[in-house]
Amino acid sequence: DFSSSTHYVEITVKTTKNTYNINWNLNGGEEAGSSWGDEGYYRSTYTVTDHGFDMPKSKDVKKDGYKLVGWYANNACTGDPVLRHEQGETGNKNYYAKWEKDTYTVKGGQIGTGIIAVDKAAGQMGDAVTVTVMPYAGYKMKSGSLELQYYDVNNQFKRVAITGNTFTIPGG
């Protein structure tokens, strides 16, 4: 008579979560606000169980004279933009900011005592714009009275005197 007994062996293992790096390539831009860093919303590392997050918005990054178009997973900023980093992703990530130059409307037109003409209706930061002032009969332009008025990126109203008849579209 053979009797058999069954023996069980339990195997255990301990695991730790991998930590992955996130490289934010701002392509000439800079961080804005306090959402950055390992304690912030946009951190430099993550694990598979970390909550997902939307990609940084234009309030989170800035580049004078440009607006943020989106974030891409390749340095050529081609293909579909990355909208969100999802929970459960793995591997080191590189995200690249894509920027587009701001376009400014340049207005001339009729004023009470004449006409202000500009050589272009729109331009980008750094573009030169030529202004021609044509006062009506009986009027002349007061020396030093030509000025550029605009709102900067912080929505602050600015006035800049124009010397001569050409100005450069400002940034910031």
In terms of Cα–Cα distance, which of 160, 164, 113, 165 is closest to 134? Answer: 113
Mean pLDDT of 46-52: 90
pLDDT tens, 2-40? 677 788 889 999 989 999 999 999 999 998 876 776 666
In terms of Cα–Cα distance, which of 22, 121, 30 is closest to 68? Answer: 30
pLDDT tens, 98-121? 999 888 888 888 888 888 888 888
User: Do 90 and 18 contact (CB within 8 A), yes or no?
Assistant: yes
What pTM did the predictor assign?
0.67
Q: Dihedral of the CA atoms 116, 118, 123, 127 (nearest 10)?
A: -110
Q: Choose between 63 and 4: higher pLDDT.
A: 63
